[in-house]
Amino acid sequence: MTEKTESAATDNARKNPGTAALSAGDTLELEVTGIAHGGLSIARHEGRVVFVADTLPGERVRARLTEVKKSFARATAVSVVEASPKRQDHIWAEASINRQPEMRVGGAEFGHIELSHQRELKAQVLADAMRRQAKLNSEIATAAVIEALPGDDDAGLGWRTRVRLHVDPETGRVGPYAARSHRVIPVKSLPLAVPELAPLAPLNDLLPDAQHVDLVAPSGDDPRLLITHRGEKTAVGAGDVITEYAAGLPFRVRAGGFWQVHREAASTLFEQVASAVEWLGDAVDPAAANLDLYGGVGLLVGGFIAGSDSRARITSIESDEAATDLAAENLATAPGAQTLNAKTEDYLADLLRSSGVVRQRVNRGTVVLDPPRSGAGGRVTAQLLELAPQNIIYVACDPVALARDTQTLVTGGYELTALRGFDLFPHTHHFESIAIFERI
């Protein structure tokens, strides 16, 4: 989490930063009152906001400071004085609060919170981002719930189809990193991983020549182990093409390439884009110049076509050449689909220089975008405002980035007409959102 994303919670503290001389390593007893973006909870000490790991709102904890700034500090809970009724034993023993903070494994920072309450906290984060960054207070913007994915059990375990493990350069031991560090922590199990990966995980092996290990369990291929050796950028086999399934359809993807890690995530996003297109109804023109930005291997193009028309015209823009080639294969049976290898901002700049006829077709169209965690950003949102498509379907993996881009789009002439959240990452602070914008 950056200072910028924490600014909402620290605004008031800057006005009254307090006078206590605090230092990293100090231990405080804190009352935890709120949740912040990034998986940390919020407490206050003499006017200073303290962002605390490994706790949750409603608790009183003893916490060790790890960083102290003028208006805020960061800390990690070392013991619980008064527990929330929503606290549970951590789903990963090696992340338990009973361990020293530096020895707690990362990757499941909400694992000490009851699963249903995790989703309530994530919904609070989304609503708060919409109020603060997007400046919206409507029910649509602030009342979204975070929905479980089909097939998730009550424990929220066994969903992750891709896992990266690291190798300690001194000992050769294999394991995840500790939370907020690059210390390798030996573990006995991987509770978030799908069961197919357990036999492949080298948790008891020594791999002194390796840098990291990727475990991959494709839905349409055998599980595999990819080892990246020290001094190398990619693992042997990372470029192998494997098959993944989404909504019953095959998609070809590189073993080391991007694909949603939750076993049901790709199908969920495919189906939600299809549902968004159906919900928009006649506002979606299959014959217009529809766009899929940051298109990957064509997953969301498939959803757009499923919700619109098998002959719908849509161009997928992707900066990775290998992914673009695979998208062309995956969409070969869709006569109206095209793929283009380009950066999104460069492609949109070319469109803005195009003839009036091309611009008119974009103006009638729908844009689907699934940007990186940093969001579409100022340049791309400005380009979209100038192109002024009829609809924008925005798939977001970061609520603050989504809210920031929402504020730009709403100010520029769009209305947020739908917002939903999905728990693609149980026991972590991450989740996915899908927002629909319509031109006013």
H or E element at residue 401: helix 399-411
Residue 274 three-state SS: helix
State whether the Cα torsion 245-250-253-255 is positive or negative: positive
How far, in Å, CA of 125 to CA of 145, rounded? Answer: 11
Q: What is the pLDDT of residues 347-371, one digit of tens each?
A: 999 999 998 999 999 999 999 999 9
| Backbone torsions φ then ψ of 377, nearest 5 degrees | 85, 170
Buried b or exposed e, range 332-357, using 16+ CB within 10 angstroms: eebebbebebeebbebbeebeeeeee
Alpha helix segments (H runs only) across 133-176? 139-142
Domains along the sequence of the chain with CATH: 7-108 (2.40.50.140), 133-153+262-439 (3.40.50.150), 162-240 (no CATH)
Percent of the chain exceeding pLDDT 90 equals 92
Prediction pTM value: 0.94
| Backbone torsions φ then ψ of 343, nearest 5 degrees | -70, 140
pLDDT-based confidence at residue 2 (cuts at 50, 70, 90): very low
Q: What is the pLDDT of residues 248-286, one digit of tens each?
A: 999 999 999 999 999 999 999 999 999 999 999 999 999
Q: What is the pLDDT of residues 279-315, one digit of tens each?
A: 999 999 999 999 999 999 999 999 999 999 999 999 9
Q: Stretch 209-222: mean pLDDT, rounded?
A: 97
Percent of the chain exceeding pLDDT 70 equals 95
| Backbone torsions φ then ψ of 393, nearest 5 degrees | -110, 110
Q: What is the pLDDT of residues 52-107, one digit of tens each?
A: 999 999 999 999 999 999 999 999 999 999 999 999 999 999 999 999 999 999 99
Q: Stretch 154-170: mean pLDDT, rounded?
A: 96
Catalytic residue of the set 397, 402, 419, 435: 397
Q: What is the pLDDT of residues 425-434, one digit of tens each?
A: 999 999 999 9
H or E element at residue 384: helix 377-387
Closest alpha carbon to 409 in 370, 363, 378, 364: 378
Q: Strand runs (DSSP E) across 54-157, as ranges?
A: 60-68, 72-82, 146-147
Amino acid identity of residue 140, one-letter, is I
Q: What is the pLDDT of residues 20-51, one digit of tens each?
A: 589 999 999 999 999 999 999 999 999 999 99
Q: Is 255 one of the annotated active-site residues of the chain?
A: no
